[in-house]
Chain A
Amino acid sequence: MPTTLRRTPLHERHVAAGARMAPFAGWEMPLQYEGVLGEHMAVRETCGIFDVSHMGQIETGGEQALALLQRLLSNDVAAIDFSLGTGGAIGTGGAQYSVLCREDGGLLDDLFSYRIDGERYLTVTNAANHARDLEWFEAHAQDFSAVTLTDRIADYAMLAVQGPLARSIVQAVSDAPLPARMSASRRRLAGAEALVCGTGYTGEEGVELLCDPADAPALWDELLRRGATPAGLVARDTLRMEACFHLYGNDLSTERGPIEAGLGWCCKEQTGFIGAEAVRAVREAGAAERFVAFALEDRGIARPGNRIAGGGEVTSGTLSPSLGIGIGLAYVPAGSARPGSRLEIDVRGKMRRAVVREKPLYERSSAGG
């Protein structure tokens, strides 16, 4: 355990804005600024900006970069394309979500990988898992002679700009059109070099920006000046729960595999990734439990660790700022996993009624009317 918390390059900005700071995975991070509900709705209605510089990056390069990543990551890494820019323009690479499994299928992390050049990939890790992921990458890289692994966590600040206005706000400071959803490319943003990624964790349009830590404060200031609202980790959590994105440590752990977690779609067993045989066995036999989204029908807020009558447990829960009701994510017996299934959740001694809902619980198209 680190004895002192790490600080992001935006620490002074957060303190000056009156953010409530708290330890998170060894980092001192902003939980909230003015208020969670306003930050959440800013992302849903206009644009929010998150400092996620605590997230880690591992760069994999060399002739066998693809071969190593295909062994480590559950998805088909060969499907991530990279197109050279025409006439000397900067190239654009694909983005891909995957999980990192142990041999037994237990989940070590969930990750986005970006192809940043023909033979270079950048994989973004969860802060709490970064050191373990890096060790895992390095241990398996021993089998590949033509691979270079680089820990890039100290080289990048990371900003997530999310919301219906996010792309236009970032576009206004960019030297070229932004890369499309699920792709990544280098741009100059307000004069600073950045990797612009068409990804996010909120269920809204937006981008994630990786830049030199020294450039982050000026870029942050410029995006705020253009209308982005600073949002903290609590709003990030409520947004991702509405969008039904997993949070490692809550919804994902070494105790469960990707099929149970509803992540079979990003597992391509034919690539022979570590854990593929275990994943295939569960996929063929059927998982005993399933990861579902639920909404409470009674008042109240279910929380992680709450037990479900008949088996299962809540792994994420909050009051949905967008919907105004208690929502959450849970593992339930496969027989109770169908949307519409009734659940009874033990919320600190009170049984609360809930119903399994289709994922996501909130999506932009449902916001109209």
Chain B
Amino acid sequence: MADASYPSELLYHPEHDWARVEGEEATLGITWYAQEQLGEVVFFEPPAPGTSVSKDAPYAEVESVKAVSDVIAPLSGEIVAVNEALADDPSAINEDPYGEGWLVRVRLSDPSERDALMDAASYSSSVGG
């Protein structure tokens, strides 16, 4: 998508990741700012379902032709679903980072971790938006 966008219903991690928390689970992805900085994503290998992710630690990589970037988990938990469609065509990460470009869904191990994340207004101002 062409213009910066930080939906208000999401929570944000300073390493440019978002979380959509729904009860005991959350969907995770990278922010508009992250995909803009990276440029066109040409490769994403989804992690295996069942893998544990830890808040503030990398759980996957996204790659442009030029560079590899770690994807940082905004929350801890166990991966229960991955966006398999991105393995064949990762362009949704650029075109629809909060929708079709979602990366993984996790069952949260400590839902209170969400209190440490930023809201859209704070995140947006942190990236100069």
Contact = CB atoms under 8 A, between A and B. Distances in A.
B100 interface: no
B42 interface: yes
Interface string A198-238: 00000000000000000000000000000000000010011
Nearest to A31: B66
B43 A36 contact: no
Interface in B42-57: 42-43, 45
Given A299-B45, A303-B68, A319 B63 contact: yes
Interface string A233-251: 0100110000000000000
A123 interface: no
Interface in B15-59: 39-40, 42-43, 45
A348 interface: yes
A326 B68 CA distance: 13
B61 to A, nearest CB: 7
Given A299-B43, A301-B42, A319-B42, A36 B64 contact: yes
The secondary-structure label for the interface of chain B is loop
Most B C-beta atoms less than 10 A away, residue of A20, A31, A37, A301 = A301
A348 B61 contact: yes
B68 A36 contact: no
A300 interface: yes
B65 interface: yes
A20 B37 CA distance: 9
Contacts of A300: 43, 45
A135 to B, nearest CB: 31
B87 interface: yes
A299 B84 CA distance: 14
Contacts of B40: 35-37
B65 A321 contact: yes
Contact of A238 (B45, B63, B65, B87): B65
Given A35-B40, A300-B43, A301-B42, A234 B87 contact: no
Given A36-B39, A37-B40, A301-B43, A234 B68 contact: no
Nearest to B70: A348
A318 B65 contact: yes
A318 B68 CA distance: 10
B100 to A, nearest CB: 18
Given A303-B68, A319-B63, A348-B68, A32 B43 contact: no
B45 A237 contact: no
Contact of B43 (A20, A31, A238, A319): A319
Contacts of B61: 348
Interface string A110-153: 00000000000000000000000000000000000000000000
19 contacts: A20-B39, A31-B66, A32-B39, A35-B40, A36-B40, A36-B66, A37-B65, A234-B39, A234-B66, A299-B43, A299-B45, A300-B45, A301-B42, A301-B63, A301-B65, A318-B65, A319-B43, A319-B65, A348-B61
The 3 closest A-B pairs by CB, nearest first: A319-B42, A318-B65, A234-B66
